[in-house]
Amino acid sequence: MRRTLLLWASCGVALASAAAARQQDVPPPDEKIQSTDQANREGIAGAMTAPLRDVNVVRTKIPRVLLEAMEDPYQRPAKADCKSLIALVTPLDTALGEDIDRHPPAPNEDLMDRGRKAAGEAALGAVASTAQDLIPMRSWVRKLTGAERHDRLVQSAVASGNVRRAYLKGLGEARGCNPPATPQHKPPAEPPVVDPGMPPPPDPYGPRRPRFPIHKEEAPALPQGPSY
């Protein structure tokens, strides 16, 4: 069983390596950036190419907008009107994925749905771990090939991009812009309809409510000096 699994993993790595070699001449377009752990869980292809990321054959391309954000996330934009802010936030959304305010929880999403999604990611992580076991002394290989340093660079680029996007959205909210140049806030909940014929709601204190009013403790009076 283990020999079959290793053979299957080796074939997958060989196919992924051939696909990566064919794509070396074509620069990949700017898309959502991923760390090594995220790429390993991005489908079966990402799980099988995990060893290639360890030996630095397959590398995550960092979009230019994130490289610029790493230089100064709080750089003042040349123009701070709403149209210019939207033009600055949009490429960050493309590189980082939509911000958390654009993905509210689904009304029918429950723990079972989230559990199935987590189980699928865990299975892909197990496949990536099996493929990575083919590389002896993996931690040293990552250090020597530069894969670990590049992964830290990717994580720093993602953090800088998130800070940059939050800064630009703050400017947009101060100017009253519309999304995506400002956070998309959750609409306020409508107040409940109260029937005048209904009895008042129960007292949250119940029988524990104190019988006497509670007075705030007054500050002690300062001592006065002798009078002459």
10-residue stretch averages of pLDDT, the chain, 228 residues long: 44 44 40 52 44 49 89 93 95 87 63 46 41 43 56 84 94 92 80 73 66 58 62
Residue with tokens 């053979």: 7
Tell me what pLDDT residue 176 has.
Answer: 92
Tell me what pLDDT residue 21 has.
Answer: 42
Give a yes or no: residue 221 inside a domain.
Answer: no
Tell me what pLDDT residue 47 has.
Answer: 40
Give a yes or no: residue 52 inside a domain.
Answer: yes
Give a yes or no: residue 113 inside a domain.
Answer: no
Tell me what pLDDT residue 126 has.
Answer: 42
Please give the residue range of the domain that contains residue 157: 2-21+36-102+119-174
Give a yes or no: residue 227 inside a domain.
Answer: no
pTM for this one?
0.50
Give a yes or no: residue 96 inside a domain.
Answer: yes
Number of domains forming the structure of the chain = 1
Give a yes or no: residue 47 inside a domain.
Answer: yes
Tell me what pLDDT residue 171 has.
Answer: 95
Give a yes or no: residue 112 inside a domain.
Answer: no
Residue with tokens 């100064």: 72
- 36: nearest Cα among 15, 26, 21, 51: 51
Give a yes or no: residue 109 inside a domain.
Answer: no
Classify residue 135 as exposed, middle or buried by CB count within 10 Å of its CB (0-12, 13-18, 19+): middle
